[in-house]
Structure 1
Amino acid sequence: MDHNINSLKPFNIQDGDVVQSWQKWKQIFNNYMIAMQFDTCSDERKIAILLHSMGEQCLDIYNSFSEKEKSTYILVLKSFDDYFIPKKNLAIERHKFFTLKQESDSLDTFLTKLKKQASVCEFGQLKDSLIRDMFICNMDKTNNHIREKLLTENDVDLYKLVTIYKSLELSFNSTSYLSQEIPVATLRSSRTTAHSHSKQLSTSQNGLKQQQAVPFNNNNTANFDNNKKCTRCGQYHRFKCPAKSVKCKRCHKIGHYYNLCRTPINNIEYDEMDSSLNSGPGLFTL
């Protein structure tokens, strides 16, 4: 088998976060050892592959180790861990864990943060149960429905916890979406109302066209509205006005009743005077 041991990038000790970089690089290196089947080699060869892969700067660090620290592959890795990972204050790390809150994070992100912080707190067998308890206690109040459900469950491990809260999140989001949809009955009612309004508007427009098609004159049917009295006969009618051929006894004009005459009084007196003069025995002459 062709083993290419130059495929890994050297470890950069100048990286800003050297602790995280070392832990990530070591994980990649372990996977590489397994993939290339170097994990079954002797300790001497494993150490040689490790030092070759880490680069020249890390070789200087290795040379500072004691003979005991160089004796086995496991001890060499531990020595590098001690070098790159400073001694932690356990009380501070646990304080960080117990004060973590969800705030604006998603539940997935919050759980990941709890797991990551718990990994440096040395909780031992209590690790998973403390992660579960902190997750339930410190999730945001907007997730109270999830908290209440989890508190009623027995023997909730991390796998069951994830299953429950993801199921509740999906159900809650679906319910919220459906509550925003317009009910079918309301939609049908809206359509019926719109259709009725359109029909009324069409009928009104047709009626207006019919009225406009009938010209107004003194001898024809008077302008009318089904809801208003005729101004010539004082009645409600749709077709021919009964006062159409009636002569008014006041102004002597045809087309309206006497009591609905609108001819000014002065015009009436003048007409009567003019009529009496014209019907006299003769004209006065000088």
Structure 2
Amino acid sequence: MSGLPAIETFDCEGEPSSVGLRWDKWRRAFAIFLEASSVVDPKKKRAMLLHSSGLPLQEIYYSIPGAHVDEPQGDNDVFAVAVQKLDEYFKPKQSKLYERYIFRKIKQESEETFDEFLVRLRVQGAKCKFSNVEEHLIDQIVEKCYSQELRKNILALGDTVNLDTIVAAANSLESINRELKGFSTTSFQEINKIQSWPTTSKQARNHFNVCSRCGGFNHRGTDKCPAMDKKCLKCGKLGHYKKQCRTLLNTGLRRGYKRKYDFSSQPNNGKNQESFNYVDADSDQDESRPTRDSEYVFQIDDDTEIPCNIGNVLVRMVIDSGSKSNLITDKT
């Protein structure tokens, strides 16, 4: 007996609604422990019960009238009397109508094996006081089993069906389903896809609501703005701050220079002569301007061509960046 591991003490203070079930499980474990220990004396068995159950159960035991006796009571020895009194304390009178209601609610879950489902039915069915437990188990399996194929097989057998036949059929179906998964030859190849999503962040939304006068985010240029009557330090006009000044376009046209490509000196094979201009503007933007501010593009031209000399032959070539709209100039 000394080599046997001790069993866990009984939890008397757990969930009250399940204390009866916990007591049944603990008493069953203790009965196995006694059998393995080869203890037969009733008083020693009672002493081992009180020792193994823990102090909380000992307090309950000694508070129950008639639980601790020194002599046998009729056909019950001192150990049987102790167990009977504890049963009466932890297992209040049960209603078979309620237990049968719980039994009828049990169904097989999608990830639950048939054996696990059957064990739950057997445990609850033992509390229902059925005259024919197997018949009620079969009824519940037909109604609440997860497998439609198993239900068809049971109904096909008719009145000749029994529980052993159902268990064999259920285990066979589960085994076949596991094997079929191994025969699956469907393969999938991963494809990496580049997909753009619309920007919905608060910062991106605010980016399009910048005040054109002061650069603020809490109002628009058409609203009452603190820069409405302020003089711009860049262009000298009223109505905006320097950082929001858009006179760069005009300044660039005045200060910039034009680079012109003329194809008139080259043979054009009857095609119309054409030239194009590029404006390179001096930048006098404020260096302290935050990097998050917007940059403005005032013009987007069509595809630009430049002359290239290839083998002493002048060829017009398009500057192409691969985008739908080209922002690359001939200078670039």
TM-score, with structure 2 as normaliser: 0.46
Larger % of strand: which? Answer: 2
CA distance in 2, matches of 1:5, 1:146: 44
Measured in 2, the distance between the counterparts of 1:129 and 1:4 equals 44
CA RMSD of aligned residues (A): 2.8
SS at match of 1:108: helix
Identify which of 98, 116, 122 aligns with 2:123: 116
Residue of structure 2 equivalent to 1:79: 85
Deviation at 1:65, TM superposition (A): 3.1
The residue that corresponds to 1:35 in the other structure is 36
Work out which of the residue numbers 96, 99, 105 in structure 2 matches 1:90.
Answer: 96
| Offset of residue 42 of structure 1 | 2.6
Q: CA deviation at 1:4?
A: 6.7
Cα displacement (A) at 1:30: 0.7
Unmatched tracts of structure 2, length 5 or more: 187-332
Match of 2:134 in 1: 128
Unaligned runs of 5+ in 1: 183-286
Between the aligned partners of 1:174 and 1:121, the Cα distance in structure 2 is: 38
After TM superposition, the structure 1 = structure 2 runs for residues 134-153 of structure 1, keeping only pairs within 5 Å, are 134-140=140-146, 143-153=147-157
Q: 1:30 to 1:68 in 2, by over 3 A?
A: closer
- Report the Cα distance in structure 1 between the residues aligned to 2:10 and 2:160, rounded to whole angstroms: 43
Q: Which amino acid aligns with 1:149?
A: N
Would the alpha carbon gap of residues 121 and 96 (structure 1) be closer, same or farther in structure 2, given more than 3 Å must change?
same
8 Å Cα contact 1:150-1:161 kept in structure 2 = yes
Aligned residues: 175
Contact kept in structure 2, 1:19 and 1:85, CA below 8 Å: yes
SS at match of 1:87: coil
Partner Cα distance (1:28, 1:76) in 2: 17
- What is the Cα deviation at residue 63 of structure 1? 2.1
Q: Is the 8 A contact 1:102 1:110 kept in 2?
A: yes
Aligned-residue offset at 1:32: 0.7
- CA separation of 1:114/1:7 partners in 2, compared to 1, >3 Å: closer, same or farther? closer
Question: Matched residues, percent identical?
Answer: 26
Task: Describe the superposition over 1:32-90 as per-residue Cα deviations: whole angstroms up to 9, x where unpaired.
Answer: 1000101xx23222222212222332223222334378443223212212211222222
Whether 1:163 aligns to 2:156 is no
TM-score (norm 1): 0.53
More helix by share: 1
